[in-house]
Amino acid sequence: MKKIILLLCLLSAFLPLAALDLGLGIDSLSQISGIPGDIPVGFTESLRLSAFLSAMSGRRFSFRLAGFGDYGYSSFAQEANLLGGNLESLELFLLLSPEAAPQRIALKMGRIPGEAGAKALGLSTLDGLDLLLSVAQTDIRLVAGYTGLLRASDAAILLSSDDFLASGDPSIFFAPPRLYYGLDLRFVELLGSADLGLGFSGQADLRQGALDPTNSQYLRLLLSGPLGRGLSYDLSGLLEFIQHSAQAEPSGIAAAASAGIQWYDPARLGSKLNLDIDWASGSGGGLRRYAPIGTSDAGEAYAIPFASMLRLKAAYLLAPTRDFTAALGLTAFMRAGEDTPSDPEYLSTATGVWLGEEGLVSLGWSVLSDLRLNLTAAAFLPAWGITYPETAPLRWKAALGLRLDI
Partner 1 sequence: MIGFEGYIEATKSVQEKVPPMKVALLSIAFGLLAFLPLCGQSSQFMDRLSSPSALSCEDAAYLVLSASGGSESTLALDKALSLAQEKKWLSAKASAERPISLAAFSHLAMSAFGLSGGLMYSLAPGPRYAFRELVYRGVVVGRHDPDEKLDGPSALRILNAVAALKGVDL
Q: Which residues bind partner 1 (CB under 8 A)?
A: 18-19, 21, 56-59, 62, 322, 366, 368-371, 404-406
Q: Which is nearer to partner 1, 229 or 322 (CB)?
A: 322
Query: What is the spatial distance between Cα 198 and Cα 367, in angstroms, rounded to a whole number?
Result: 42
Q: Which is nearer to partner 1, 18 or 315 (CB)?
A: 18
Compute the least distance from the CB of residue 30 to partner 1, in Å.
Answer: 20
Compute the least distance from the CB of residue 95 to partner 1, in Å.
Answer: 10
Compute the least distance from the CB of residue 59 to partner 1, in Å.
Answer: 6
Contacts for 231-235: CB closer than 8 Å, 24+ residues apart:
231/261, 231/262, 231/263, 232/261, 232/262, 232/264, 233/259, 233/260, 233/261, 233/262, 234/258, 234/259, 234/260, 234/262, 235/259, 235/260
Compute the least distance from the CB of residue 369 to partner 1, in Å.
Answer: 4
Compute the least distance from the CB of residue 368 to partner 1, in Å.
Answer: 4
Q: Which is nearer to partner 1, 93 or 279 (CB)?
A: 93
**What does the H/E/C string look like for 83-136?**
EEEEEEEEEEEEECCCCCCCCEEEEEEEEEECCHHHHHCCCCEEEEEEEEEEEC
List the one residue out of 278, 298, 292 whose CA is nearest residue 346. 298
Q: Which is nearer to partner 1, 41 or 406 (CB)?
A: 406
Specify the pairing of strand 354-368 against strand 371-382. Answer: antiparallel
Compute the least distance from the CB of residue 382 to partner 1, in Å.
Answer: 41
Exposed / middle / buried, residue 130 (Cβ in 10 Å: 0-12, 13-18, 19+): buried
Q: Which is nearer to partner 1, 59 or 268 (CB)?
A: 59
Q: Which is nearer to partner 1, 213 or 270 (CB)?
A: 270
Compute the least distance from the CB of residue 144 to partner 1, in Å.
Answer: 24
| DSSP state for residue 9 in the 8-state scheme | H
Q: Which is nearer to partner 1, 171 or 369 (CB)?
A: 369
Query: What is the spatial distance between Cα 319 and Cα 73, in angstroms, rounded to a whole number?
Result: 33
Query: What is the spatial distance between Cα 334 and Cα 230, in angstroms, rounded to a whole number?
Result: 30
Decide: 53 and 21 in contact? Cβ < 8 Å. yes
Compute the least distance from the CB of residue 269 to partner 1, in Å.
Answer: 13
User: Within a 13 Å sphere around the CA of 194, how many CA atoms are in the beta-carbon half?
Assistant: 13
Q: Which is nearer to partner 1, 349 or 369 (CB)?
A: 369
Decide: 290 and 280 in contact? Cβ < 8 Å. yes
Decide: 249 and 288 in contact? Cβ < 8 Å. no
Tally of residues, the chain:
406
Compute the least distance from the CB of residue 404 to partner 1, in Å.
Answer: 7
Q: Which is nearer to partner 1, 81 or 369 (CB)?
A: 369
Collect all residues with Cβ–Cβ distance below 8 Å to 268 and sequence separation of at least 6: none
